[in-house]
Amino acid sequence: MEAKQNSGAIRFIDLFCGVGGFRVATKMVCEEKSMESICVFSSDVDPDAQNTYEANFGEKPAGDITKISAKDIPDHDLLLAGFPCQPFSIIGNMNGFEDARGTLFFDIARILEEKKPKAFILENVKQLKGHKYGQTLKRIIETLTDLGYYVDFRILNALDFGVPQKRERIFIVGFREPKYFVWAKGEVPMKPLSEILEDDVRDFYYASEKIKGNRIDKRKGKKQHDEITIWHENKGGNISAYPYSCALRAGASYNYLLVNGERRLTEREMYRLQGFPDSYKIVSSYQVTRKQTGNSVAVPVVAAVIRSVLDALEQEEVPLEEFVSTTIGQLSFVFEKSEVKYLMNTR
């Protein structure tokens, strides 16, 4: 299987870009491959996210994507989108496509239909897979397949990619042409919390004596750790302690995560838990940063998916006669052979 000559550049768009996790990851992977990464369009409706993005990348994202014509978006090779996850999340009301924000997926679809990029990567919460007994994901896959893409999805955990944060997210990838595609397996040793946490932390981040005492009481009789842990309080009030963080969440309570049951994470620590480099500029308030990092992607996971997608794009097109197609309803299925994914399409 011969690889194509490297074109030297990848043009991409960054939809629902937030603070730019997809863009950081794309730049990282392209530098590895000696390619130039060119962001030709970015969009996010949140003013704080726009300001943070501009401070780091030198350009302000466009606003409401629903008000932007697909024809006005520049041509690109790769569409990236961590589309709003609340409609599919356990934190939301589980209304899915009945929630107006759920329809933002169809703004992705109309751009794919108009611009026809070579590939796309979408990211969402893992609950999307089981939402409405799988009907929501089925509708998404059907739409992408009808647009002419070869589609596959997988749930990946940031813990498997070196980040000390249990953050499971579903990734959906698609190609205009059939490609050999291999999902990254992870298997990256987890960075210890000691390399994430800052040494000198101001009193501002410490919980009150009452809250700390409450946490200690709830942990009595449970497994104790000699190493640094982050204590997590779930909706039922149960306190767990792990040598890694549970998923950062935009709408979680103020003391949702406490280092050793004593203090909140600093702004830099939150970004580190998402795999951002320390060169990334933090320009927002503490509360806004909590929201932004909770909504962000884990950079090392996204980088692994982008790397696999670019590897696939560098290969020659797969002859259709090599495909074996089986279809149930309207969904395409994926078969494995010698650790290689064959992306099926029912068109």
3-state secondary structure of 156: strand
Residue 304 parent element (H or E): helix 299-313
Interval 155-182: pLDDT, tens: 999 999 999 999 999 999 999 999 999 9
Q: Which residues of 134-157 are buried (b: 16+ CB within 10 A; e: fewer)?
A: eebbebbbbbbbebebbbbbeebb
**pLDDT tens, residue by residue, 41-58:** 999 999 999 999 999 999
- Report, as residue numbers or ranges, the catalytic residues: 85
Q: For the chain, list the domains and their CATH numbers.
A: 9-189+297-342 (3.40.50.150), 199-265 (no CATH)
- pLDDT at site 335: 35
Is the per-residue pLDDT at 275 higher than 90? yes
Of 143-147, 221-225, 226-230, 262-266, give the lowest mean pLDDT range: 221-225
What is the band of 346 on the pLDDT scale with cuts at 50, 70, 90? very low
Average pLDDT, the chain: 86
Summarize the chain as % helix, strand, coil (round to 5): 35, 20, 40
pTM of whole model > 0.85? yes
pLDDT band at residue 307, thresholds of 50, 70 and 90? Answer: very high
Spatial CA neighbour of 171 closest among 116, 133, 119, 247: 119
pLDDT of residue 347: 40
Task: Return the DSSP state at 183.
Answer: -
pLDDT at residue 145 greater than cutoff 60 = yes
Q: What is the mean pLDDT of residues 264-293?
A: 97
pLDDT score at 321: 57
pLDDT at 333 > cutoff 50: no
Q: What percent of the chain has pLDDT over 90?
A: 67
Q: Out of 105-119, 204-218, 320-334, which region has the weakest mean confidence (pLDDT)?
A: 320-334
Higher pLDDT, 321 or 262: 262
* pLDDT value at residue 236: 79
Query: In this structure, what are the phi and psi dihedrals at residue 80, rounded to the nearest 5 degrees?
Result: -120, 135
pLDDT band for 263, please (50, 70, 90 cuts). very high
Work out the average pLDDT over 287-298: 96
Q: Taking 80 as the threshold, does the pLDDT of residue 17 lie above it?
A: yes
Q: List the single range of 45-49, 69-73, 317-321 with lowest mean pLDDT.
A: 317-321
